[in-house]
Structure 1
């Protein structure tokens, strides 16, 4: 089989799975353009506005916790289809919701889809990808997320500009949520065109289908070798349970996965992404200028994700993480110091964009790369669920505490707090994160032993 034919099946599977990332970003960020109109429509208090904006995170936690084990039972592809179906149901339900609490229920359903996609898309890509380009391919999932965020920024702006303010309050926000039906249905249809994960098939002892897929990815000679390697890694046939997470061979990668997931959030990324317009307003920008600068953040996010895609398999996960976190530390220090001096101007914008760029080339994509690689095949679904559950817990904690920190600590001290977390994250990556570039998943599993 020619290399181009091998590449075709790999990249097709990766791009389809990355549509799950696009839906993840799309559904997460749709609230940013609609919450103001909903607040007026439902006459929401500050507390209810916060709940309406963040209720999807509850679904994320549920989806993250149970999807891994479910995928171990019925397959990666089927659970991705469930994710797409949940996105579709949520888009229709939130658009047509007759009342606020019905809306909240459908947002939680959409959150479950986000939680599932955040685990299953990178897991599926990791299990399909050849070792030498696996980091690059898993990073494409993060490209899907940031592309989805950027797309919904423009979709929201387009819908908001169709008619006047009163139309947006009555109907515009519903169209914003309903627009998610289109990419959700496309995702479902595309999933019918890609194969199941060969590693999951081997676990089910469906060796012939697994070999067929591995041959299409690697060629016949290497495909047969890959099959035997995977079979050897699964010689322990006892059913996997949550109690097995205490096993020494799994405990260390699990702790590393959880801490990396948490560090990816407590260094402040979602505080900036969710509250960017308010941050820019606080430094003197008008509403229109603040929204434009938020779109610029989305563009920077996309551009520097390509940096990660290009260099993750050349420099390695650890090196790229250290470079990126260093940039985050410097930029957070500058933002904090500028606010401390009570200065305004483009220095804050440049520092925030530098922070976004540094995150987009490191912790953003590489968190998903690392946690999709470091767990044994037998435990990968459940272990990734646990790590990603803590990631979503950290997202919730940051989104809820950022306004509190801004009010009690002040803007400068809040950003310095995130800077401190980034310094700790740098030390953690330097000391504890293993380098996994160009190693097969089975070789990584063997090293933990």
Structure 2
């Protein structure tokens, strides 16, 4: 009996203890629902990473089967990128007018259509069409997923929850590399027979179709999961649907402090595109555009693209290039866990400053390895992995975290669309410039160029980026409105409006 009494709550009756236990269980149930919603939304990031990375295994088979010219090969790859740009351009207005959930549902449908269409369409024309459709889905997800997560997350854990999106993206890249390698191995061991059915056809006879078709599985899970998650409570309140927004808050969290964070925005408080470019929001917009720009000009895509040759030059024996991509994909995913661990405790600024400084140094040493001819040295591999680590815990995920936090509520979707659009445009530029740089200035100078951009990113973050950890979106907006951020720190300013006084101690 003594052991049983040890579990009783002292000073309370049996009925009171039962009510207390039930309350704690209900609280825990509500708290876990935010994580569940985040994981469902992050499937959009998984599909983003999977769809973009799977092409590395598809392209050699497609090129051989259809005898692609250089133009056709480029068109096949860029069709998805064009779809991404269109999807992002559409996502901002759609998410601000229709809500966050509907564009996500549309992106899930596009992912399903793309995977199935690419697997079974016979002609190259229709395969490219469905790649374009998949690109539109990627564009929608790349903007709306971090936006949605930021609006359902409490301030104290918002950075960590948004970083799950980047982690899911890296997991999707790794899954694509693993599935590509696995399907090639399966097709080699199980050659297709003449009377093979449709699935044997796509997994053995034309294995590249199977690589693309596997994207249907997470796409269907994403679509089904979205029917279970609520609309963003902040968006509901911005549209004047206060009671619905409060009901969603009560459903997803029992944290009273979090429920008080979300302040209804009056319908009259509308912000146009013109005001977004005004002096009031200019600094926030500049940060939102520069961080994704620097993320691409850091050289991450050049590292991923030339990863197999880098490992080969480092003297590591690999059975094929797909396995080397798995190594880089695994490193990228593992180091993203550091961001999940530290983004809400260490803060955005320290991680970004440390990450850009480390990336600049590792890229500089990578260039030095090529310049000195030490390409067969283990130090080349160490430098590349060090860069991946620095990118994965700072430059990669934090561009989404910061962009989802710093923009005003009424135009957050459209402002984030501009930010993500810059990322895709920069991605296109880097993809075109990297081969030119390698040919004209050499490998070493190319890596030094990327290192220089990381130095510029460090200085920009040091000068412009405010610390936003632990602050509600409403508080951040109020501080921008009062010009409360200077050189990354909050300064004395006029008292905040009545509706945000609860955020001041």
Q: TM-score, normalised by structure 2?
A: 0.84
Distance in 2 of aligned mates of 1:107 and 1:210: 37
Distance in 2 of aligned mates of 1:63 and 1:278: 33
- 1:296 deviates by 1.2
Deviation larger for 181-190 or 399-408: 399-408
Name the structure 2 match of 1:270: 301
- 1:284 deviates by 5.8
Distance in 2 of aligned mates of 1:173 and 1:83: 23
Output one character per residue of 1:358-400: Cα deviation in whole Å (capped at 9) or x when no partner. Answer: 1000011111000000001101000000010010111111112
Which of the two has greater helix per residue? 1
Aligned counterparts, 1:235-274, within 5 A: 235=266, 237=268, 239-274=270-305
Output one character per residue of 1:22-55: Cα deviation in whole Å (capped at 9) or x when no partner. Answer: 0010111010111111110111233432332232
Distance in 2 of aligned mates of 1:430 and 1:62: 33
Select 1:418's aligned residue among 435, 450, 456.
450
Select 1:324's aligned residue among 322, 345, 355.
355
Output one character per residue of 1:77-107: Cα deviation in whole Å (capped at 9) or x when no partner. Answer: 1111101011111111111222222211111
Output one character per residue of 1:235-290: Cα deviation in whole Å (capped at 9) or x when no partner. Answer: 36265443332232222211110011100111101111233224434556666354
Select 2:56's aligned residue among 17, 20, 32.
32
Distance in 2 of aligned mates of 1:447 and 1:51: 45
Aligned counterparts, 1:193-208, within 5 A: 193-208=228-243
Deviation larger for 277-286 or 304-313: 277-286
Name the structure 1 match of 2:503: none
Q: Does 1:345 align with 2:345?
A: no
Structure 1 pair 319–266 and aligned structure 2 pair: CA distance change class (3 A): same
Name the structure 1 match of 2:125: 101
Aligned counterparts, 1:108-147, within 5 A: 108-147=132-171
Deviation above 6 Å: which 4+ runs of structure 1? 165-169
Output one character per residue of 1:1-20: Cα deviation in whole Å (capped at 9) or x when no partner. Answer: 54413321210111111111
> 1:439 is paired with a residue of what secondary structure?
coil
Structure 1 pair 223–342 and aligned structure 2 pair: CA distance change class (3 A): closer
Name the structure 1 match of 2:79: 55
Select 2:398's aligned residue among 366, 376, 393.
366
Name the structure 2 match of 1:184: 219
Select 1:297's aligned residue among 328, 335, 338.
328
Q: Does 1:432 align with 2:464?
A: yes
> 1:162 is paired with a residue of what secondary structure?
helix
> 1:80 is paired with a residue of what secondary structure?
helix
Higher relative contact order (CA 8 A, sep 6+): 1
Distance in 2 of aligned mates of 1:262 and 1:432: 15
Deviation larger for 279-288 or 256-265: 279-288
Q: Is the 8 A contact 1:26 1:149 kept in 2?
A: yes
Distance in 1 of aligned mates of 2:269 and 2:342: 39
Q: TM-score, normalised by structure 1?
A: 0.95
Q: Does 1:376 align with 2:411?
A: no
Aligned counterparts, 1:212-223, within 5 A: 212-219=247-254, 221-222=256-257
Give RMSD over aligned pairs: 1.9
Which residues of structure 2 form unaligned runs of 5+? Answer: 1-22, 193-202, 482-505
Rg larger in structure: 2
Q: Is the 8 A contact 1:5 1:216 kept in 2?
A: no
Distance in 2 of aligned mates of 1:429 and 1:102: 44
Q: Does 1:404 align with 2:436?
A: yes
> 1:196 is paired with a residue of what secondary structure?
coil
Distance in 1 of aligned mates of 2:38 and 2:50: 18
Number of equivalenced pairs: 445
Distance in 1 of aligned mates of 2:62 and 2:423: 28
Select 2:112's aligned residue among 68, 71, 88.
88
